[in-house]
Structure 1
Amino acid sequence: MPPTSISPLLSSQPSRRSLLRGAGTVAAAAALFGLTACGGSSASGTGSVTKVSLGHAAGISNAPLYIALARGYFQAEGIDAELRAFKSGGDMVAPLASGQLDAGTGAPGAGVFNAVGRGLGVRLVADTGKLDDGTKYSNLLVRKALVDSGEFTKLSDLKGKRLGLYADGTSTTLWFDRALAQGGLQRSDIQANFLGGPDQAIALQNGSIDAATTAEPYATKAIESGAAVRFAVGADFYPGLQLGVIMYGTAFTQKKPEVAVSFMKAYLRGVADFSASLVDGQVRGKDAQEITDIISKYTELDSALIAKTYAAPVDSKGALNVKGLADDLETYRRAGLIEKADLKIEDIVDTSFVEKAAAALATT
């Protein structure tokens, strides 16, 4: 199913487009974060250990990486993984391109695509979550009072409503624009308020917005507060949507290709453990308490909340939805959000490392 085009409203707002162009210079970003060069080796006992810096914006979607860290899977591959905190995946792009950061996690969107188009050395290399059928990670929440009163019963009732949305040019807007189209609407029919997940939950509770495209764990928070109900999920409108990815800097892959594969082997072991802990999208399966405690340690979210939230499933082999990403690129291009006219998905994605890792694990 081809993506629904984003409303022309997106391309008419230069401030948003400038945000998508705001990766900044590599040197400035490196200085800002005070990062030091990485990828060197040091002796540890009788073996050689390679330091690899990993950027993350703390969240449940990074659970397999946290598990791999906590359970020693990186160490088993001869990797000393150094975790570094960022506000978002977009903030990691310049450090990745400069070699100040080796790997990072984030959402694939117009900003990352444009960074590649500008020649920054970043590639999307593995899956950290998709909207498989029924996945409740990304949600259309509606204020409970509107549903209880009968004022909101169908998608077309979004007309004129105040919506809490994540930034334009991101994966969430892709499924939301499809939802609008199913209701016979476009972006100009709603009142868009661009808010992060925590602010969406608060705004639903205080009534300053009527609905929101809220991801976990903030969706569960809003629902448990009694302020909102889950009216639909993103997977209803765009099943298979690539929500999150691991990114590699090409400086890392060119200098340490074997280490890049070993990193993926450790990550896929974390994926296997995380998948085994999930029952109907929640951490209620194998080693559930240990897994929630690990996630809590790295995200500072309460373990009890983590157990109630829904996770986006991760492909067992780390495979990306490359066709979907190619469709997304064209959707952003039609909306005027892509700067380089001849940018192709092949320029952005490199699945070779995770494919080699999956093949190596299959033989052990």
Structure 2
Amino acid sequence: MKTRRPPASPAPSSTRRRFAALTCLAAAALPPWTRLLAAQPGNPLQKVRVGMLDSLSEAPALIAYEQGYFKEEGLDVEFVSFSNTADMVAPLSARQLDVASGAPTLALFNGALRGLPFKLVADKGRNSPGHGFNALVVRKDLVDSGRVKGIGDIKGMKVATPSRHSPMELQLDVALRTAGLGLNDVGLEQLAFPSMIAALTNKAVDAALMIEPLVTVIAQRQIGTRLLGFDQTSPEFQIAGIIYGPSLTQADSDVGRKWMAAYVRGIRDYLDSLEGKGSRDVTERALSRHIAAFKNPELLKKVVYPGFDPDGYLNLQTIKDSMAWYAGLGLLKTQPRLTDLVDYRYLDYALDRLGRKGARQGVN
């Protein structure tokens, strides 16, 4: 964690909440330059602390920050860097963090079963076609020699995984099944992402389950080759989601609604920049200004970026598939109800204001 997190402020009174809601509704009808007046000294911004994983999928939130969308909503957003989602759980529970992110993991599903006050509220990256942010990388010498030409050729090989029973392993399992294989046909070795580079270099492993920008870095260093992006075998798989903690979920949070409105605007700017409808500099500048790994502008031009739903909806089917996969392994005794895991009320508020690109979605 890079930023010191002061204690969270107490929840506002019911009178203040009603006043904030009326203020927000009135502000929604005003042009952006007028709403910016709310950020003046006489109207102090509301603090929101957001856990960040220094990943490419942080781009929409960082764009919203750089474009001033959070300030337009009267919010003072502070990003706090973490190495993984697990480290966010304690400060999120203690209301020292308001917003976090996490993959559809066993820990998240078990947390829902235990009634933890966390909710998945929006998309934070998926393997849309052409956006294979997660990939299987194979040692370059194995590909150059012709030993490995496709997924079926890694049978019997040693594959590095960031954590056992992770969503990355689920995606590998799906890919292996296309060749009539399964996880039992490879040797899995748990390694942190940085250690995978050394392991591939030293030929301690034959392949690795990796994310961008490491996939591109390894290719640039002539260490490994992207054998396949998981967008090819697990299209639209939900990589991660935005999580609201109890400071936002255990009250009728106007802050949660306003944060989401700014975030959805960031998603749409991000997609426009990748699709040529807006300047690519919007995304590259936001990432390079906040994340040290992306200071190299040439790297940002070569990486494969994650996809997003333009309305911010989660792919609930792949989340259900993930739960079924864990249950099939005997690791999840009971599958939580999606309504205990996902809450779209903040997203619906944002989309009612901004307009939808597609149909309204619900949680069943």
Structure 1 gap segments, 5+ residues each: 1-32
Q: Distance in 1 between matches of 2:90 and 2:54?
A: 19
1:92 correspondence with 2:92: no
Give the 3-state SS of the residue equivalent to 1:241 in structure 2.
coil
Q: Distance in 1 between matches of 2:84 and 2:115?
A: 20
Displacement of 1:92? 1.4
Name 1:151's counterpart in structure 2: 147
Q: Distance in 2 between matches of 1:40 and 1:53?
A: 15
Name 2:313's counterpart in structure 1: 319
Give the 3-state SS of the residue equivalent to 1:130 in structure 2.
coil
**356, 360, 364: which is aligned to 2:353?**
360
Query: Cα deviations across residues 273-328 of structure 1 (Å, max 9, x unaligned)?
Result: 1111114xxxx773323431220121112222122111111111100011221221
Query: CA RMSD for the aligned pairs?
Result: 2.2
**264, 268, 286: which is aligned to 1:294?**
286
Amino acid of the residue matched to residue 288 of structure 1?
R
Name 1:345's counterpart in structure 2: 338
Provide closer, same or farther for how the CA distance between residues 75 and 356 of structure 1 changes in structure 2, counting only shifts above 3 A.
Answer: same
1:264 correspondence with 2:257: no
Q: Distance in 2 between matches of 1:82 and 1:155?
A: 42
Name 2:24's counterpart in structure 1: none
Aligned ranges for residues 226-265 of structure 1 at < 5 Å? 226-265=222-261
Q: Distance in 2 between matches of 1:359 and 1:43?
A: 23
Amino acid of the residue matched to residue 157 of structure 1?
D
Amino acid of the residue matched to residue 37 of structure 1?
A
Contact 1:317/1:355 (8 A) holds in 2: no
Give the 3-state SS of the residue equivalent to 1:192 in structure 2.
strand
Give the 3-state SS of the residue equivalent to 1:121 in structure 2.
coil
Displacement of 1:205? 2.6
Name 2:209's counterpart in structure 1: 213
Displacement of 1:359? 1.7
Q: Distance in 2 between matches of 1:268 and 1:289?
A: 19
Query: Cα deviations across residues 259-280 of structure 1 (Å, max 9, x unaligned)?
Result: 111100110111111111114x
Give the 3-state SS of the residue equivalent to 2:349 in structure 1.
helix
Provide closer, same or farther for how the CA distance between residues 276 and 342 of structure 1 changes in structure 2, counting only shifts above 3 A.
Answer: closer
Contact 2:161/2:169 (8 A) holds in 1: yes
Q: Distance in 1 between matches of 2:153 and 2:63?
A: 42
Instruction: Tell me the TM-score normalised to structure 1 length.
Output: 0.83
Amino acid of the residue matched to residue 340 of structure 2?
D
Name 1:30's counterpart in structure 2: none
Provide closer, same or farther for how the CA distance between residues 35 and 335 of structure 1 changes in structure 2, counting only shifts above 3 A.
Answer: farther
Give the 3-state SS of the residue equivalent to 1:47 in structure 2.
coil
Contact 2:323/2:335 (8 A) holds in 1: no
Displacement of 1:127? 0.2
Q: Distance in 2 between matches of 1:305 and 1:123?
A: 33
Displacement of 1:99? 2.1
Displacement of 1:180? 1.8
Q: Distance in 2 between matches of 1:298 and 1:39?
A: 29
Q: Distance in 2 between matches of 1:71 and 1:259?
A: 18
Q: Distance in 2 between matches of 1:90 and 1:44?
A: 36
Over the matched positions of the two proteins, sequence identity in percent amounts to 32
Displacement of 1:36? 1.1
Task: Write 1 or 2 for the structure with the bigger share of strand.
Answer: 1
Provide closer, same or farther for how the CA distance between residues 206 and 89 of structure 1 changes in structure 2, counting only shifts above 3 A.
Answer: same
Displacement of 1:135? 2.0
Name 1:174's counterpart in structure 2: 170
Contact 1:62/1:105 (8 A) holds in 2: no
Q: Distance in 2 between matches of 1:196 and 1:233?
A: 20
Aligned ranges for residues 56-67 of structure 1 at < 5 Å? 56-67=52-63
Contact 1:39/1:102 (8 A) holds in 2: no
Displacement of 1:44? 4.8
Amino acid of the residue matched to residue 353 of structure 2?
A
Q: Distance in 2 between matches of 1:199 and 1:35?
A: 33
Query: Cα deviations across residues 329-352 of structure 1 (Å, max 9, x unaligned)?
Result: 12112212225x252222111122
Displacement of 1:43? 8.7
Query: Cα deviations across residues 76-109 of structure 1 (Å, max 9, x unaligned)?
Result: 0011112112111222123223322111122221
Name 2:75's counterpart in structure 1: 79
Provide closer, same or farther for how the CA distance between residues 256 and 51 of structure 1 changes in structure 2, counting only shifts above 3 A.
Answer: farther
Contact 1:320/1:351 (8 A) holds in 2: no
Structure 2 gap segments, 5+ residues each: 13-37, 357-364
Q: Distance in 2 between matches of 1:267 and 1:43?
A: 18
Amino acid of the residue matched to residue 350 of structure 2?
A
Q: Distance in 2 between matches of 1:285 and 1:166?
A: 35
Give the 3-state SS of the residue equivalent to 2:211 in structure 1.
coil
Amino acid of the residue matched to residue 325 of structure 1?
I
Q: Distance in 1 between matches of 2:173 and 2:60?
A: 30
Provide closer, same or farther for how the CA distance between residues 360 and 43 of structure 1 changes in structure 2, counting only shifts above 3 A.
Answer: closer
Q: Distance in 1 between matches of 2:117 and 2:243?
A: 10
Provide closer, same or farther for how the CA distance between residues 205 and 121 of structure 1 changes in structure 2, counting only shifts above 3 A.
Answer: same
Amino acid of the residue matched to residue 199 of structure 1?
S
Displacement of 1:34? 6.1
Query: Cα deviations across residues 156-199 of structure 1 (Å, max 9, x unaligned)?
Result: 22111111112133221221011122222222221211123322
Give the 3-state SS of the residue equivalent to 1:54 in structure 2.
strand
Contact 2:118/2:249 (8 A) holds in 1: no
Aligned ranges for residues 24-173 of structure 1 at < 5 Å? 35-38=6-9, 44-173=40-169
